A and B are shown apart, each in its own frame.
Chain A
Amino acid sequence: MRNRSLKSVLLGLLLAGSCMLLSGCWDSLGIEDRALVLSLAVDEAPPESNKQEEKVTHIDEKPPGKMIRITAQIAVPGQVPLGPSSASSGERTQNSVWIVQVVGHSLDDALNNLQQQISDPKYLIHLRVVVISEAIAREGLDDLNDYLRRNAEVRRRTWLLVSDIPAEKVLAVAPPLERVPTLYLLSMIEKSVRSGKFPLDYLGIFWTSESKWGQDGYLPYISIRGQDKILVKGLAYFSGGRLVGTTRPLEIGAYMAAKGMDPGGYSSLLNVSGLGYVMVQTQERHTNIKVDIVEGKPRVKLKILLEGSITEQFDSSVDINSPEAVGQVERKFNEEGIKAVKSLFRDTQLKHSDIFGIGEIVRAHHKDFWKKHVHEKKDWGNIYSGIPVDVSVHMTIRRIGLKQ
């Protein structure tokens, strides 16, 4: 008798349990029903866009500032290939992503307008690249970052890029190497990090340096060349959340040398007297930054130790085949290196943008100075613009290649 009632209780439990299984996940949303935004381009909206505004998040309110135009690349389910495929380059781009353009007063306003126009709910979980045009960056990125920071879907490993041409054009670049344009852009920038063409600087790192009082952020500055090539053009450096200046490509190398970042990926062409033109490739960098307070002012001492090799020599009748000749090249390199690093310092000092993080060293090691002079982030920018910088560069050339 007891056994039977126990059995029916157990069966009842089983019934209740299996009922739960029948329902599946109550809030499941298949991947085909999501609009996965792969990349965003943010541009200034053309002046007449006020009229085509959709009034999704506001009716009469006129938020301050200029309007922005957002171009989103949305992955088309089933069309994004997972492996290599033989599709020819033409049909690829049109099929794998869907490009949507909207205007709005802010990033979220624009994304809301976008949502009003497409059926599937948008997801930023696979957002990998955000390209902003230089004009937007010069207005300031704080408002843009606010949305990206608040949204739990956005990864800290997303890349933020600044382009000197309208950002939507960068997204449209479709080289034959990848079927999804965004993924090409992403692999382009990630491979340049691996080969020493650019420091590791994804969104999270940019945010971190922008937050620090003794440091300012920088972003990759890119452009396009021809129909389908992307050029890493330099660093776009910020001060107070606004873009204030950009560098040339070789100055990325100077920056990485000043910070002692490896691997070294840049070669410099030197005009060595008597030896013609010599190309020296940097391979390893070690840097010692010291900051002392001299006469009530921080004084930066930069000691850069480099290792490299000679990769080319031209316009000369004399071969480099003696330690003396190599020493001559090294000395010339040191001279040019000091010039390059100093000029990068001077440029950033003029713009109050401490991308080297000198202020953080002062904060960490000279507590009293920091407490006395720095009360908000702006204070350090002002001090930074007037501090003396000593640079010394020591290049050691280990190899000269296969030619004797």
Chain B
Amino acid sequence: MSRKQTILTIQAATVIASSTFGVSVLSFPNAMARSAGTGAPLMTVAGILLALLGFWPLASLGRKFKGQTIFEYGQVLIGKWAAAGIHVLLLLFFTVSSALYIREFGNVLSIVVFRKTPIEVSMILILLTVAFSCRRDVVKFSYIHIFYFPFMFLPFLLLMLLSVSRIDILNLLPMMGNHPMNPIGFAQSLSLYLGTFVITVLIPHMSNPEASMKSVIYGIIASGALYLLMILSSLGIYGVQETKKLIYPTLELSRSISLGGVLERFDVLFIVVWFVTVYTTIYTSYYLASYTLSKLLNFSDLRVSSSFLFPFLLAISLIPRSVFQSGDIARSTEFVGIVLAILYPLLLKIISLFHRRRERNP
């Protein structure tokens, strides 16, 4: 019997939940209010369903090719060079999105808490923290996620529950929105869950790979429910028009909470919790980038690749000139991400169906 450590189904679900619940927590209600108005909660639910559908091929491929990640069976299914090409794109996507997360993190800290600290300092600090954690293997990676999960999940839940009593139902009606929903919103809502891609790396280490889809479902629903609560409370309290005017509606929620008229200004506490969620999200994204790189170059572990990526990440995160530019780049990266993380596994799934047919009638 091997004494290799394995990941349980529920643990894999926790990793997915903590990876997907992340940086966009602050600005997500604003984006949803813009594209769907009062239909935002419905659109969030649609995003959850789309994500569940979208990641089904990836989970099912993992069940079929036991002990392999997409980087291995991808080569088998579409050929070595084609797969390498797509994997390079994946590498770029994860690198750029980690860099943008780091930039967003720096932006928020500069606006809200550390107004005198140069943005580079806060960015380098989080980058270093993540880069060091990235040198671990997959099992330790998931243990780190599991350790931090309660520290982000429970405070957020508490914040939302504190806000629920102030919700005005009128602000959430009509459920379909006053104006037709903007289809881009569906992509935005779906893109929250792109971190679920990490399941392909986890499956070979799971004690029960058959249950990988279960992990995906639990993970997405846990973080999706929190996103939904967040939408309901910020929209329910502020209404659509006000939410559109707030860059970080969730932060405003924490700023306006008052306990007994004595404890006020929870925003600093909130930022501390948010730091953890940002850390776990960037961690997954950076980890996937290093993992892809090490697979491309056939490295045995992630130490070299994570150190190698470090300067590139820092450089990319410093490129955008302003908040507007980083927002624009983030939006286009999301679309590329949807194509890569959802359509690529779908393509592989379809090809694998043909493979089976060929195997049956040679």
Contact = CB atoms under 8 A, between A and B. Distances in A.
B255 A155 contact: yes
Contacts of B242: 207-208, 211-212
Contacts of A207: 242
A152 B111 contact: yes
Interface string A378-402: 0000000000000000000000000
Contacts of B78: none
Contacts of B93: none
A7 interface: no
B170 A157 contact: no
A361 B264 CA distance: 31
Contacts of B239: 208, 211-212, 360
B258 interface: yes
Given A152-B112, A157-B264, A211-B241, A367 B174 contact: yes
Contacts, number: 56
A143 B245 CA distance: 15
Contacts of B334: none
Interface in A109-151: 125, 149
B179 interface: yes
Given A357-B170, A364-B174, A27 B241 contact: no
A266 interface: no
Interface residues of B, number: 27
Given A211-B242, A212-B242, A365 B112 contact: no
B256 interface: yes
A378 to B, nearest CB: 14
B238 A208 contact: yes
Q: What secondary structure prevails in chain B residues at the interface with A?
A: helix
B179 A360 contact: no
A363 interface: yes
A155 B251 CA distance: 12
A365 B173 contact: yes
Contact of B256 (A204, A211, A357): A204
A129 to B, nearest CB: 15
Contacts of B261: 190
A277 interface: no
A367 B170 contact: no
A156 B252 contact: yes
B264 A360 contact: no
B178 interface: yes
Interface string A6-30: 0000000000000000000001000
Given A155-B255, A365-B173, A213 B179 contact: no
Interface in A172-216: 190, 204, 207-208, 211-213
A361 B170 contact: yes
A397 B242 CA distance: 40
B117 A27 contact: yes
B3 to A, nearest CB: 29
B58 to A, nearest CB: 39
8 contacts: A156-B256, A204-B256, A211-B245, A212-B239, A357-B170, A364-B173, A364-B174, A371-B178
Interface of A: 27, 125, 149, 152, 155-157, 190, 204, 207-208, 211-213, 357, 360-361, 363-365, 367, 370-371
